Chain A
Amino acid sequence: MTAIEERPANPAAAAENRPIGFGRLQRKEDPRFIRGKGHYLDDVVLPGMLHGAMLRSPYAHAKLISIDTSAALAHPGVHAVITGKDLEGLNLAWAPTLSADVMAILATDKVRFQGQEVAFVVADDRYSARDALELIDVEYEALPPVINARKALDADAPVIRTDLEGRTDNHIFDWEAGDAAETDAVFARADVVVTEDIVYPRVHPAPMETCGAVADYDPIDGKLTLWETTQAPHAHRTLYAIVAGIPEHKIRVISPDIGGGFGNKVGIYPGYVCAVVGSIVTGKPVKWVEDRSENLMSTSFARDYLMHGEVAATNDGKILAVRTTVLADHGAFNATAQPTKYPAGFFHIFTGSYDLEAAHCKVTGVYTNKAPGGVAYACSFRVTEAVYLVERMVDVLALKLGIDPAEIRLKNFIKPEQFPYQNKTGWEYDSGEYERAMRMAMDMAGYDELRREQAEKRERGELMGIGVTFFTETVGAGPRKHMDIVGLGMADGAELRVHPTGKAVVRLSVQSQGQGHETTFAQIVSEEIGIPPEDIEVVHGDTDNTPFGLGTYGSRSTPVSGGAVAMVTRKVRDKARLIAAAMLETRPEDLEWEKGRFFVKGDPSQGKTIAEIAMGAHGTVTLPEGVDGNLDAEVTYDPPNLTFPFGAYICVVDIDPGTGVVKVRRFIAVDDCGTRINEMIIEGQVHGGLTDGVGMALMEIIDFDEDGNCLGGSFMDYLIPTAMEVPDWETGHTVTPSPHHPIGAKGIGESATVGSPSAVVNAVVDALQPYGVVHIDMPCTPSRVWEAMQGRHVPTAGV
């Protein structure tokens, strides 16, 4: 024995129940993250690399009179200063958004939100670049801003988008789902109708790593290599080709390790484009990384939905219909990311988990002088807003009828035998067993005991609240016939190669921002073909080295890319069967599969492992007709439908009656994401999402003052929850596989963020029953809670 102990190469492999396939497994990528060896965008350092810095507008709305860059250009170390005028020359001052609008890369005519990009400096280092920003002299003429979305459509509202031909107002779109007349008829004959105005305020994904890019344009061979913090490298490559006119094969987008995305890193930001132009202009690589305030003030926000909800029901609590009108604040440019047909994302799943007779929604999008973007922050394309609306409204109804919130939900659930369930706004829910999940959460919580405790506490003047929520998500966008983003179908590719020694590499079109793809996707391959997960390399985030696909957002990686990986592995397995048959000199149909091995039916000793078959394929075995000498395959998976994860959440809060401070005491989360690939990763996703949810419910908001100054531009103002604000999560699960997904998996990335805010707010409102509070808008800060106790509503400044 030597002094140094022998250690297994992979600690996971040493664990007793090392799974071949699905199961609890430590993440393969974690050793590098834990040891500080991740490779993030800011770790990209190229020879001769220059640095960019962005000048931003201090005004929310102003005319751009002039820009003088001479002093900045004269600053030591400065190589270039790029303005909107310069970009106009390249036809790049404006670029298409993901929502059929255009957005300014650098302002030319006006600035339309505080923090908008005005000029870009390229210098030797970050310090010179930043210093030079101070030397750019911009003359603005302030214009009245539109901050309150409710006033955006007033006749006298200033027109923000004067760049668009013939624009006379700030209206973007009207969009409806469901049957208005049918819904009105149900409402007309209902015993009770409850209504409430519910604001889902503007929040921000605030990923730990801010956005950035390193552009390296090679003038000799005309190839652009672009490192970006992007959740969708392939879509970006295509867009750059279309917008910048660089041929697509001459663009390589690399998305290195990403420190959190949450939707914030789906779109193309002006900084990326400026880095590219900077590299073309200077002939050197250019790095641009935004700082925290730039990230919070200018990149994709989330929510900002002003909703009016209505529920019609019978006196005994049977919900008949839900109706809602929404004013959607899209900021200065309509740059939300969602499938083309759905300008309000998947908001029309606001029918929730309930069997309704009718439903209708109307969403109106408006421009305001705020940062553009939207549909970010782990929201499954606005499912978050939808769930929040319906789950708050069901509580409003329960309160009105004096029915327990858990009971009213149990009464109205879609029943297991009703699946696949056609809802009233066009969705086909794939599968669900709602009551089972709800009962499990209630058991875990000790629901009846909690209600007893609450009653006792109320007697003593103590404020304890129990919030109940049940959500259904719609994720895994989506079928090509219905869903595209800027014309690109929402399918995903996967490519698998089994090497001669039986190890494998799988290439994905999606890109992880921390979700653990390198582990989950290795486990899917492993489950299907029996190669241990540690023997499977997962390659992603590099357009030159992975198949095309639309990327990671809306919880779509497992539902779509996971489907692709399962299918490609099955294709390889089918091929392996042919080769094994040749090797065993038998017919393919006479072989039986057990994980990792084909054997002859009735004679298990006669068999070939995948490694043996791989060696055979690449070796000298005589292959059957039409089979080439490898064990590789490629597929593109077009999902037949979305998947519908669901869950039951119960939150217990205590409120200090003297200060309004809310303490989340317990949180019980029962999730059903169908087949569970890796419990550990699922729990991690749930823990993170619940923390997000507590943050939105209690403290997060991007608000504005009346001049349009962003009030959430730093972490001193934009509060993110810490371990101190959250309880020990109590998680549980049920498993209702998706019937149409190759492995029955539904996706879990956003469930907890979608489901938890309403659980917390419902608990806060429940606690405040002695004060007759029916609704309180997020974030439930101590001040807002106390004001609600006084019977006052605190509006957010923009609303």
Chain B
Amino acid sequence: MQIPAAFEYARAESLDHALQLLAEHGEEARVIAGGHSLLPMMKLRLANPEWLIDINDLADLDYITEEGDTLRIGALTRHVSLLESDAVAGLFPLVRDAEKTIADPLVRNRGTIGGSLCQADPAEDLSTVCHVLRTELVIRGPNGERTVPMRELHRGPYETSVEQNEILTEIRWPIRPRSSSAYTKVERRVGDWATTAAGACLTMGDAGQIEDVVIGLTAVGLDGGTATRAEDAIRGQQPGEELYAEAGRLAAEDCNPVGDQRGTEAYKRHLADELTQRVLRKAVERVNSTAAARS
């Protein structure tokens, strides 16, 4: 049994109550959602919060709602809900691709999307998913609500722009027609964190060209979370193996992997290339097959 340092605990009854508790207990108070990142860090004494503000009772932060051209996800939505939601899988198949590879059922039953994003672990799969989906995030604080784009959420590893007295409340994914997406991950074993993973979302134009595309990579030190040079190189082009290869090459060039037990630097760079090609191929296939199914 690994034992965290002593801490105080309060259970928030509402979002406002949670914000009030955070304000009241100050710097050393932390929100706890699923606890699957925070508790392990506390047990290893890498995190030693004096107060835990439990937001698990805030059922009104647990939802998946389609509204106009936006899919709104409550921050307390669990991995398992994202995995099982057919609405999500229909609009953004990469979410299910990713969720299938995140941890194990026990973790997925508790861990939340809000916690995943606020943890800001460089290997967090949902961070890449959110980059790729051009996510907008809703953050509530003592002075009300603000929204930030995904690229502004993470300030660095384990550091976000959600201030200590703020709570991430909603994740917004824009819905675009003629679009699809894919995510794929290489891990040493089921439930392991990514050695490298890639996600892509693309929109096809009338002439069968790639009208728009976002490519994201996990755990390979990609600046800003997306492979912009690769995106630029294929935007407006007709999809095909040569194009994927070009995108893969550029994505691999732009990442900064660090060799470790999961893999050598060269291997991770190779995966950035290989997996970028795979998700592009898959996403194009998916747009085409939904288009075919429609016509």
Residues of A within 8 A of B (CB): 126-127, 130-131, 134, 289, 291-293, 658-661, 698-699, 701, 703, 711, 714, 716-717, 719, 721-722, 724-725, 781-783, 786-787, 790, 794
Contact = CB atoms under 8 A, between A and B. Distances in A.
Interface in B241-289: 261-264, 266-268, 270-271, 274-275, 278
A72 to B, nearest CB: 14
A540 B135 CA distance: 62
Nearest to B268: A783
A293 B45 CA distance: 13
A698 B187 CA distance: 12
Contacts of A786: 267, 270
Interface in B159-215: 186, 188-193, 195
B6 A659 contact: no
Interface residues of B, number: 27
Contacts of A293: 2, 44
Main secondary structure of the interface of A (DSSP, over half): loop
B50 to A, nearest CB: 14
5 contacts: A127-B3, A292-B2, A660-B267, A783-B267, A783-B268
Contact of B189 (A127, A289, A703, A721): A721
Contacts of B193: 716
Nearest to B270: A786
A716 B189 CA distance: 10
B261 A659 contact: no
B97 to A, nearest CB: 15
Given A722-B191, A787-B267, A717 B1 contact: no
B1 A131 contact: no
B148 to A, nearest CB: 30
Given A127-B6, A659-B274, A782 B188 contact: yes
Contacts of A782: 186, 188, 195, 263, 267
A127 B186 CA distance: 39
A126 B45 CA distance: 15
Contact of A719 (B189, B263, B264, B271): B189
B5 interface: yes
Contacts of B264: 783, 787, 794
B266 A787 contact: yes
Nearest to B262: A783
Contacts of B190: 722, 724-725
Nearest to A658: B274
B263 A781 contact: yes
Contacts of B2: 291-293
Nearest to A53: B3
B92 to A, nearest CB: 24
Contact of A722 (B189, B261, B270, B271): B189
Interface in B224-239: none
Contacts of A725: 189-190
B188 A781 contact: yes
A778 to B, nearest CB: 13
Contacts of A794: 264
Contacts of B271: 659
Contacts of B262: 781, 783
A238 B265 CA distance: 52
Given A658-B278, A783-B267, A130 B189 contact: no
A781 B187 CA distance: 9
Please name the 3 residue pairs, one residue from A and one from B, whose CB atoms are nearest each other, closest first.
Answer: A783-B263, A724-B190, A783-B267
A735 to B, nearest CB: 36
Given A786-B267, A787-B266, A289 B1 contact: yes
B266 A126 contact: no
A428 B190 CA distance: 44
Of A661, A711, A725, A782, chain B has the most CB atoms within 10 Å of the CB of A782
A658 B44 CA distance: 36
Contacts of A130: 3
A717 B260 CA distance: 11
Interface string B2-38: 1101100000000000000000000000000000000
Nearest to B196: A659
Contacts of A661: 186
B267 to A, nearest CB: 4
A660 B195 CA distance: 12
Contacts of B186: 659, 661, 782
A787 B262 CA distance: 13
A463 to B, nearest CB: 14
B154 to A, nearest CB: 21
Contacts of A131: 5-6
B195 A783 contact: yes
Of A659, A660, A703, A722, most buried by chain B (CB within 10 Å of CB) is A659
Given A130-B3, A783-B263, A699 B189 contact: yes
A209 B5 CA distance: 23
A717 B261 contact: yes
B261 A126 contact: no
Contacts of B266: 787, 790
Contacts of A289: 1
Contacts of B188: 698-699, 719, 781-782
A292 to B, nearest CB: 7
Given A714-B44, A794-B264, 10 more contacts: A659-B271, A659-B275, A716-B192, A722-B191, A724-B190, A725-B190, A782-B186, A782-B188, A783-B263, A786-B267
Given A659-B271, A659-B274, A782-B195, A126 B3 contact: yes
A126 B6 CA distance: 12
A699 B187 CA distance: 11
Contacts of A721: 189
Nearest to B259: A783
Contacts of B275: 659
A292 B43 CA distance: 11
A781 B260 CA distance: 12
A517 B271 CA distance: 48
A786 B3 CA distance: 39
A639 to B, nearest CB: 40
Contacts of B261: 701, 703, 711, 717
A136 to B, nearest CB: 14
B269 to A, nearest CB: 11
A530 to B, nearest CB: 47
Most chain B CB atoms below 10 A, which of A134, A658, A724: A658
A201 to B, nearest CB: 12
A748 B267 CA distance: 40
A216 B293 CA distance: 73
B111 to A, nearest CB: 15
A660 to B, nearest CB: 8
Contacts of B3: 126-127, 130, 291
Contacts of B192: 716, 719
B1 A126 contact: yes
B2 to A, nearest CB: 5
A291 B266 CA distance: 35
Contacts of A699: 188-189
A279 B263 CA distance: 47
Contacts of B274: 658-659
A724 B101 CA distance: 12
Nearest to B191: A722
Contacts of A722: 189-191
Nearest to B261: A711
B153 to A, nearest CB: 24
Contacts of B189: 698-699, 719, 721-722, 724-725
Interface string B38-64: 000000110000000000000000000
A794 B267 CA distance: 11
Nearest to A130: B3
B1 to A, nearest CB: 6
A701 B261 CA distance: 9
A641 B76 CA distance: 64
A719 B188 CA distance: 8
B207 to A, nearest CB: 30
Contacts of A127: 3, 6
A794 B268 CA distance: 14
